[in-house]
Structure 1
Amino acid sequence: MQHRSEVEAADALKYAYEQIRAEIGKVIIGQDEVIKFVLISIFSNGHCLLVGVPGLAKTLLVQTVAQVLDLDFKRIQFTPDLMPSDIIGAEILGEDRNFKFIPGPVFSNIILADEINRTPPKTQAALLEAMQEKAVTAAGVTHKLSKPFFVLATQNPIEQEGTYPLPEAQLDRFMFNVALNYPSFKEELQVVKNTTSTHQVTVNKQLNAEQIIYFQQLVRNIPVTDNVLEYAVKLVSKTRPDSEFATPQVKRLLNWGAGPRASQFLILGAKCHAVLNGKYSPDIEDVRAVAKPILSHRIVRSYHAEAEGLSAGDIIEQLF
């Protein structure tokens, strides 16, 4: 893409975002918040964890996003017998008696890790290493992954039997943890009407890989004022029971707070949120807009919070 002023580029990203939303809206009815956070995490070069019951169109959403952004897409169904080599690939002995690396499904732009909590920690760790390093190592050789690289993992909140919940350190790799809710009555009527007829929808490609990488760089270049930076870091510090900013309420309700990665994601998410809303620099409102899905999986509630029925979201509301 040719060089343009950052203001023009920010306007171009806002326009592209609106076009992408319109195309996704042809297929996905409702779920506006979810779509917004998935797109913010792509433009912020982060990853996203979706938590929702089966049948809420999680797979369809990711397929549609990949189509509209003209990116390669692979779906990995996580099962208890899935091995790390089923994700990253393996060395096999070729006809010439030499070993060669056969890439696994992780070598794609968008990965849907379906029901990530159904597979043992060893296999989860293989994917999470790829997410962090943007590369995989097999037989001592490092293989770089495609760019852009985005993992959208889904987790089923029910049927916890036979599941392996992601540890806090691994949850921390995800920029957002987004809860999917059931559609409204009106939305569900529309979904059923569309999916039980011969109704066919064609979505048009809006961006390509090169443009997405350009916009990811643009988001990082957005200026941010010191007061917004301080607000974000202080908000994260408030979640840590032993911090100077922690209130007596936080000390009582939380056992563990968010780490520095949360502060980084708050600023990146706020920058992207600002641009998508026609601003050229984030303010405190932008930080608040992305705070819940960034902080909710990084704080560990105490016995008191659980006894009082307070969710992570309720506690984050109190921090504001």
Structure 2
Amino acid sequence: MAATPDVTDAETRLEDLVDTARRIRDAIESVIEGKSDVVRLTLTVLLAEGHLLIEDVPGVGKTMLAKALARSIDCPVKRVQFTPDLLPSDITGVSAYNQQSREFEFKPGPVFANIVVGDEINRASPKTQSALLECMEEHQVTVDGVTYRLESPFMVIATQNPIEMEGTYPLPEAQRDRFTARIAMGYPEAAAELEMLDVHGASQPLDKLDPVATTAQVHALISAVRAVYVSQPVKRYAVDLVAATRSSPDLRLGASPRATLHLVRCARAHAALSGRDYVIPDDLQDLAVPVLAHRLLPSMEAQGQRRHPEQVITELVRRVPVPDTR
């Protein structure tokens, strides 16, 4: 029986999405060796129209991953090096007086790009960090009472060092909640580190990385992800998972409703990258830790027992009943 035009179009869009995502993934992995799971999650956040926080110790490739994704897509990219003396206007832009026209003109800051790479975001003061709040949530910037829209797609990829390190400021809860997911690079396997010595020792792989996708293609991918079907039981399961964090005795701050929205958006992207046009509970389970853990605050008792939010989320995923989607 022949497929209907709608089904054929949907299948074609899904095939295009998987093919384009594979090209982007291959381009990034030509620079970042042995981190396929990290690269896949990065693409998931991009297609979910979210923002990514990469947290780990110095020297494991956080900035390299952000730059590799930015260079894989042919779109405007800006980089901001966060330092203690950085001002909010250094990010958003400033109104400067033009002596010739005798009027104030807005000089856009680096946030006016499709992909913004914020390096070591927790080395800036909380006041400067808060300059990204409006940008990340509402895709706009307000300077001197005038609002400027940001182009779509808009993604912030921020790196940060662990807060125990010297010269860092912990991100405020509101700032962490704006990030769709948080990942840790981790140290590479011995074989991957050996290959890195051969590849990175002779040249800089980023210099050879050419764009493999355009802004229009990324728009098409995002549209395809929005069309991925989420059944009512799966939506209920997402709500139950997030609600469980709010009643857990191990947590003094649970996940917000924004976290539920981000979890479902990422689940759509995760399903699409797997070649499916529908979300299953496994998608939510795979993404629960990276999407939810960084938003949570452990209780004093949990801190005393050295129980991290990642452990709490893993236990909640095991306890919350999985819906029957048949």
Q: Which bin holds the TM-score, normalised by the shorter protein? A: over 0.9
Report the AA paired with residue 218 of structure 1.
A
Q: Classify 1:91/1:192 alpha carbon distance in 2 versus 1 (closer, same or farther; 3 Å).
A: same
Report the AA paired with residue 100 of structure 1.
E
Q: Classify 1:199/1:267 alpha carbon distance in 2 versus 1 (closer, same or farther; 3 Å).
A: closer
Q: Distance in 1 between matches of 2:208 and 2:167?
A: 39
Q: Does the 8 A contact of 1:19 with 1:206 survive in 2?
A: yes
Q: Does the 8 A contact of 2:252 with 2:297 survive in 1?
A: yes
1:239 and 2:236 equivalent? no
Q: Classify 1:198/1:238 alpha carbon distance in 2 versus 1 (closer, same or farther; 3 Å).
A: closer
Task: Indicate the residue corresponding to 1:125 in structure 2.
Answer: 130
Segments of 5+ residues of structure 2 without an aligned counterpart are 1-5, 318-326
Report the AA paired with residue 267 of structure 1.
V
Task: Indicate the residue corresponding to 1:81 in structure 2.
Answer: 85
Q: Does the 8 A contact of 1:11 with 1:275 survive in 2?
A: no
Q: Distance in 1 between matches of 2:273 and 2:226?
A: 14
- Deviation of 1:158 after TM superposition, in Å, equals 5.3
Task: Indicate the residue corresponding to 1:280 in structure 2.
Answer: 277
Q: Does the 8 A contact of 1:53 with 1:158 survive in 2?
A: no
Alignment of 1:13-162 (within 5 A): 13-96=17-100, 97-157=102-162, 159-162=164-167
Match of 2:227 among 217, 221, 228: 221
What is the root-mean-square deviation in Å for CA atoms of aligned residues?
Answer: 1.6
Q: Distance in 2 between matches of 1:159 and 1:301?
A: 17
Q: Distance in 2 between matches of 1:71 and 1:30?
A: 26
- Deviation of 1:44 after TM superposition, in Å, equals 0.7
Q: Classify 1:221/1:90 alpha carbon distance in 2 versus 1 (closer, same or farther; 3 Å).
A: same
Aligned residues: 309
Runs of 4+ residues deviating >6 angstroms: none
- Deviation of 1:202 after TM superposition, in Å, equals 2.8
1:5 and 2:2 equivalent? no
- Deviation of 1:168 after TM superposition, in Å, equals 1.2
Q: Distance in 2 between matches of 1:71 and 1:311?
A: 38
- Deviation of 1:206 after TM superposition, in Å, equals 2.2
More deviation, 307-316/76-85: 307-316
Segments of 5+ residues of structure 1 without an aligned counterpart are 242-249
- Deviation of 1:77 after TM superposition, in Å, equals 0.7
Task: Indicate the residue corresponding to 1:194 in structure 2.
Answer: 199
Q: Secondary structure at the match of 1:101?
A: strand
Q: Distance in 1 between matches of 2:246 and 2:261?
A: 16
Q: Secondary structure at the match of 2:294?
A: coil
More deviation, 3-12/226-235: 3-12
% identity of equivalent residues: 41
Match of 2:308 among 307, 311, 316: 311
Q: Does the 8 A contact of 2:268 with 2:278 survive in 1?
A: yes
1:210 and 2:221 equivalent? no
- Deviation of 1:198 after TM superposition, in Å, equals 4.1
Q: Secondary structure at the match of 1:112?
A: strand
Q: Classify 1:144/1:262 alpha carbon distance in 2 versus 1 (closer, same or farther; 3 Å).
A: same
1:258 and 2:262 equivalent? no
